[in-house]
Amino acid sequence: MKLFKIRGGVHPEDRKHLAANQAIEDLPLAPLLHVPLQQHIGNPATPAVRRGQRVAKGELIGAAQGPMSAPVHAPTSGRIMGIGSFPAHHASGLSVRTITLQPDGEDRWLEGLEGVPDPFALTPEDVAARVAAAGIVGMGGATFPSAVKLNLRTKYSLHTLVINGAECEPYLTCDDRLMREHAAGVLDGARIMAHALGVSRIIIGIENNKPQAQDAMTGVAAPYPEIRVAHLPMRFPMGSEKHLVQTLTGLETPARGLTADIGIVVHNPATAFAVHQALRQGRPLVARLVTVSGAAINRPRNLRVPLGTPVQHLIDHCGGFREDPAKLVSGGPMMGQPLPSTRVPIVKGSNGVLALTATEINAGPSSPCIRCGSCVDACPCGLLPLNMAAHARAGDLEGTVRLGLMDCIGCGSCSFVCPSHIPLVQFFNYAKGEMAARGRAKQKQTETRRLVEGRAERMEAIQRAKREAMAARKRDTAKPAAAAEA
């Protein structure tokens, strides 16, 4: 298949050998599971259970609120211990509403969960509704509700589904293992999604460092001429939606647009597999594959983890730390976020837990920019990271925005290559957050203005009514008096 070149990008050492040859293992149940009500973009789910209630595996414990939301289900059978606040799987260390479940060890599925004999006989709406009910979200880390993405066909004219098996982040191997061990399931899920999207063409993009996954997917895709497996060159960030689509089709996604603008929808292989399970077996999303790796981990593994399992439980299963990690990361080392503690639970979007040593993270004190231009060459979005960072440092966020801050995908390529260890992408993350906060402040200000004006009008109306009532009373008292005089 003909591929197109993209600009920029970097070649970090992929370090996938640590975990790539470890077959998927089922992680034993932890003593307590902490299932957050929000594991997706959009509105949090509302609790659908009470404290003390017994639930079966796959039973609904949090109901979706509105279309931009996702339900959560019991990852195993057991008793609800409480609904409260628990540290989130998030760099901030903030707590979120979380349901705590004590497994009973039986791991008993809810009765009556049944798949559809022929998902291709369903209407696209039905498929999307089942995907929504199964709580499936983008499992590559974006956690965007998948059903919303499947319903894009109503607004865009689509022609291709791309399965993003690039897995370009170093260390991570869970998509690789999934495609090797469950190729048929991934393919089936992809075909069901294509049916829901109303497209026939499917391209499965896999980087060349995963030859077995490429072979496995090519094997199962052989009977379908409309499905192609593309062998992608190794380059970070190949897995960025827009860059992947450009490599595969040569089409550029408009700035700040969606790939759907050019007729393409991108899904992750793990999402495809979850769709397969939801439609064929009727099973909601209650577990996911997680790569536990890094040189500070004794035995790197690919684990199938019930959602809500504390990160510490995974680390213990992998033999604990070989040495004290210099950094604990959720996701890949390039775009992943530091984890505040190992107490936090695994959620729908966690694809990796990395314990990295000081030599692996190559940190160093940052020194002034030497204007070498490496960051400019590395940026896959054609931006000028050095100038953007200079503006952000000086507090001139407007200037950063003018230079294209909103086009930055936060891939970290610029920070990766910078010889002066300047925290470039950290500046951009801060600037984006600050701009969003200002946007919210502005919105609140408009809202305040409306409220204040509303109040002023009401006060005015009350005053007027009072004056009129007074005038009317005066007239009334004046009239009878005049009548009496006459």
Rule CB under 6 A: choose which of 383, 392, 403, 431 binds ligand SF4.
383
Q: Is 426 in the site for other proteins (CB under 8 A)?
A: yes
Query: Of the listed pieces 66-74, 249-257, 288-296, 377-385, which binds ligand SF4 according to CB under 6 A?
Result: 377-385
Rule CB under 6 A: choose which of 411, 427, 431, 432 binds ligand SF4.
411
Query: Of the listed pieces 57-65, 123-131, 403-411, 453-461, which binds ligand SF4 according to CB under 6 A?
Result: 403-411
92-131 positions binding ligand SF4, by CB under 6 A: none
423-452 positions binding ligand SF4, by CB under 6 A: 424-425, 428
Rule CB under 6 A: choose which of 166, 172, 229, 375 binds ligand SF4.
375
Instruction: Please choose which of other proteins, ligand SF4, none residue 444 contacts, taking the beta carbon within 5 to 8 angstroms, the exact cut-off set by kind.
Output: other proteins
Instruction: Please choose which of other proteins, ligand SF4, none residue 385 contacts, taking the beta carbon within 5 to 8 angstroms, the exact cut-off set by kind.
Output: ligand SF4
Q: Are 222 and 215 in contact (CB under 8 A)?
A: no
Q: Are 412 and 425 in contact (CB under 8 A)?
A: yes
| Nearest approach, Cβ of residue 434 and ligand SF4 (Å) | 16
Strands (E), 133-187: 160-165
Instruction: Please choose which of ligand SF4, other proteins, none residue 434 contacts, taking the beta carbon within 5 to 8 angstroms, the exact cut-off set by kind.
Output: other proteins
d(CA 320, CA 343): 14
| Nearest approach, Cβ of residue 309 and other proteins (Å) | 20
Q: Is 420 in the site for ligand SF4 (CB under 6 A)?
A: yes
For ligand SF4, the closer of residues 43 and 387 by Cβ is 387
Backbone φ and ψ for 26, nearest 5 degrees, come out as -80, 125
> Structure tokens of 59?
């039973």
What amino acid occupies position 285? L
91-110 positions binding other proteins, by CB under 8 A: 91-92, 94, 96
Instruction: Please choose which of other proteins, ligand SF4, none residue 432 contacts, taking the beta carbon within 5 to 8 angstroms, the exact cut-off set by kind.
Output: other proteins
Q: Which are the contacts of 176, defined by CB distance < 8 A and separation ≥ 6?
A: 16, 20, 165, 167, 210, 212, 213
> Structure tokens of 148?
């919303």
Report the half-sphere exposure of 30 (CA within 13 A, side-chain side). Answer: 26
For ligand SF4, the closer of residues 233 and 263 by Cβ is 233
Q: Report the run of H or E that residue 290 belongs to, with start and end.
A: strand 287-293
Whether a cis peptide bond, with omega within 30° of 0, leads into 325 is no
d(CA 25, CA 16): 17
What count of other Cβ atoms lies within 10 Å of the Cβ of residue 410? 15
d(CA 183, CA 471): 85
CA-nearest of 280, 307, 276 to 182 is 276
For ligand SF4, the closer of residues 80 and 168 by Cβ is 168
Q: Are 48 and 63 in contact (CB under 8 A)?
A: yes
Q: Is 429 in the site for other proteins (CB under 8 A)?
A: yes
373-412 positions binding other proteins, by CB under 8 A: 392-393, 395
For other proteins, the closer of residues 226 and 453 by Cβ is 453
Q: Is 84 in the site for other proteins (CB under 8 A)?
A: no
Backbone φ and ψ for 302, nearest 5 degrees, come out as -110, 115
Rule CB under 8 A: choose which of 454, 464, 470, 481 binds other proteins.
454
> Structure tokens of 80?
């609800």
Q: Are 178 and 24 in contact (CB under 8 A)?
A: yes
Q: Is 379 in the site for ligand SF4 (CB under 6 A)?
A: yes
- Contact positions toward other proteins, by CB under 8 A? 38, 88, 90-92, 94, 96, 392-393, 395, 423, 426-427, 429-430, 432-434, 436-438, 440-442, 444-445, 447-449, 451-452, 454-455
